[in-house]
Amino acid sequence: MSQAFILLPTPRRITALAGTATLHADRLITLDSSDPQALFFTAKNLQQALRTHAAVDWSIVAGTALAAEQIGLRLSVVPGSTSHPQGYRLIITAKGISIISATPTGLFYGSQTFIQILSQQPNPLPCLHIDDWPDFDQRGVMLDISRDKVPTMATLFDLVDRLAAWKINQLQLYTEHTFAYRNHPEVWANASPMTGQEILKLDAYCRERFIELVPNQNTFGHMRRWLTHPRYRPLAECPDGCDTEWGYFDEPFTLCPSDPGSIELIRTLMDELLPHFSSRQFNIGGDETVDLGQGRSREAVAERGKGRVYLDFLLKIYREVKARGRTMQFWGDIIMAYPDLVPELPRDSIVMEWGYEADHPFDEHGAKFAEAGLPYYVCPGTSGWNTIAGRTTNAIENLRSAAANGLKHGAIGYLITDWGDNGHWQPLPVSYLGFGYGAALAWAYEANHDHDVARLISRHAFEDTTGTWGRVAADLGDAYLQPDLLIDNNSILFKLLQETPQEITARTDLRPEKLCETLAYVNQVMADLSQVHSTRPDADLLQREFQWVAAMLRHACRRGLWILDNTDTTPRHQLAQEAADLLAEHRFIWLARNRSGGLADSQARLEKMRRDYE
């Protein structure tokens, strides 16, 4: 029975029963609960699904004063009926359909499984019994809205609907400067930010779908968008620039922890931001404070140590978060560099253990947090950023490792991150593979880790029952493997589009014949795109997005060959025209899902590439 349907996520226990269940037109959906209003949204979803897939229109009623033969589908909240509050039992027999849970949340998740079954075998339905519950209590997606894309509300609503169907129950929007702070208008002036009203609306939309919208605002490192403004520059650790592991930055990056104005700024951000969220959690960031100790805190670091200076400021932020009735989440990369300080972290804060390579040490790091008694999330990624098309093989292994080792050491959450470094060139659908497969692993690892990922994503993300969309997306995402030159958290094909000709020429490990093979690979993958059949309303846009992704990969290969002056004879003027066309199409597909703020910054990187051909 588990192979009869492609479910995302696959439930942990499915038992086939004899016979089938015919859906008759004259039946009811009944709400068996002391609070039927809490089930109404779930019931409406089921009602619409029955209309769409089975052509039956069942009215919704509450209570138990009905003859059994009138009830087609019963939603029952029964305290103690499931061992996990998010668990559910789905039973389909010839006599009717029942979804049972101890909570309205569990009933919602059971309804999503039923809707997926209904969409694949509508009438009659197979008789079956499902018992299901999650591995991780908190299963989230984090979307970067600060480098440089801020999605439209329509894009966010569509994504929330899709994630809710996959039993994701947490969403974070990574923010540096893209919330419209009324007291700090210069920071977001050109960013098309999320307004307070929009956050309130999105929060309500998420809550209805049992998703917690968690505020996420960086408050220590990654403050460049604030510190470049004259009003905030005096708060910088290095106001005039700094050395980093990524090279020299000629702009400030991190708040100075010893400046009293730094914690005062953070207080003002919390006081304005947090009231818009119903969540009682808050991700304060705190990652990659790469210039700490290089500037104004140099003496403090020399005296007390960099780890101690970092922790002392983190604890100041913690106290402010605590005073506002929230639980602090923070990225764990800096504190992990100082394991002797881990036991000093507050036990009511949550460490966000992030890592984006297949071999990231989730096992080793998780063991340290578990030993210290600290609640923590594992935070793998979609591997979409710095790639254009993604890194499919890496993403799958990274997502699996995070889930397996998170379970091993008792992680309380699983957060799938999707970043936008260096222009956020990858279209959102490139990240569907990571979102969908990660959601499946977070719900039930054993039942989902061996999935045919391309087939799974084709049906549930691209709504293509042929399996072709998922295969094209997955295979295009493996184009990064073809040049036989791997780079952590990046792709050489992406580098070829963003590096200068001089930097590319200096690469002694870049082989022209491998770029020719990559060109052929991309062409072969894209030949299958003509066979896709998506029922999504934005199917035409999906086509354009992936055509653009492929064109960018091809251009990377041609650009590399041109710079290496090998057998490729693509003339300079042809590359210039290609670059101009890519710029125009990039603008179109960007504005189809995102706001205009940030587009100029992203396009400037493409324009820089185009100028190399002049």
pLDDT given for residue 569 in this prediction: 58
Whole-angstrom distance, CA of residue 415 vs CA of residue 170:
8
Whole-angstrom distance, CA of residue 358 vs CA of residue 378:
13
Token output for 228:
């470049």
Q: Is the pLDDT of residue 495 over 80?
A: yes
Q: Which domains does the chain have, with CATH numbers?
A: 13-132 (3.30.379.10), 138-451 (3.20.20.80), 471-611 (no CATH)
Q: Average per-residue pLDDT in the chain?
A: 96
- The pLDDT tens digits of the residues spanning 566-581 come to 555 568 899 999 999 9
Strand (E) positions, 65-202? 71-77, 88-93, 96-101, 125-132, 138-144, 170-174
Q: How far is CA 355 from the centre of its chain?
A: 14
Tell me what the mean pLDDT of segment 103-107 comes to: 98
* pLDDT band (50, 70, 90) for residue 389: very high
pLDDT given for residue 568 in this prediction: 54
Whole-angstrom distance, CA of residue 580 vs CA of residue 574:
10
Other CB atoms within 10 Å distance of the CB of residue 257: 24
Task: Classify 174 as helix, strand or coil.
Answer: strand
C-alpha torsion sign, points 425, 427, 433, 439 = positive
Tell me what the mean pLDDT of segment 266-295 comes to: 96
pLDDT given for residue 566 in this prediction: 57
Instruction: Please state whether the peptide bond connecting residue 124 to the residue before it is cis, i.e. omega within 30 degrees of 0.
Output: yes
Helices 453-460 and 468-476: crossing angle in degrees, nearest 10, is 120
pLDDT given for residue 248 in this prediction: 86
Q: Which helix (H) or strand (E) holds 571?
A: none
Q: Which helix (H) or strand (E) holds 345?
A: none
Strand (E) positions, 114-246? 125-132, 138-144, 170-174, 212-214, 242-244
Tell me what the mean pLDDT of segment 432-449 comes to: 98
Tell me what the mean pLDDT of segment 87-97 comes to: 97
Whole-angstrom distance, CA of residue 133 vs CA of residue 88:
7
Q: Is the pLDDT of residue 1 over 50?
A: no
- The pLDDT tens digits of the residues spanning 201-229 come to 999 999 999 999 999 999 999 999 999 99
Q: Which helix (H) or strand (E) holds 89?
A: strand 88-93
- Residue pair 292/253 in contact by the 8 Å Cβ criterion: no
pLDDT given for residue 567 in this prediction: 54
- The pLDDT tens digits of the residues spanning 504-552 come to 999 989 999 999 999 999 999 999 998 899 999 999 999 999 999 999 9
Tell me what the mean pLDDT of segment 88-97 comes to: 96
Other CB atoms within 10 Å distance of the CB of residue 393: 15
Whole-angstrom distance, CA of residue 537 vs CA of residue 475:
24
Other CB atoms within 10 Å distance of the CB of residue 506: 10
* pLDDT band (50, 70, 90) for residue 15: very high
pLDDT given for residue 64 in this prediction: 85
Instruction: Using a pLDDT cut of 90, give the percent of the chain over it.
Output: 94
pLDDT given for residue 241 in this prediction: 87
pLDDT given for residue 2 in this prediction: 41
pTM of the entire structure? Answer: 0.97
- Residue pair 271/302 in contact by the 8 Å Cβ criterion: no
Q: What share of the chain is helix, strand, coil (3-state, %, to 5)?
A: 50, 15, 35
- The pLDDT tens digits of the residues spanning 61-79 come to 999 888 888 999 999 999 9
- The pLDDT tens digits of the residues spanning 184-199 come to 999 999 999 999 999 9
Q: Is the pLDDT of residue 255 over 80?
A: yes
Q: How far is CA 111 from the centre of its chain?
A: 23
pLDDT given for residue 229 in this prediction: 97
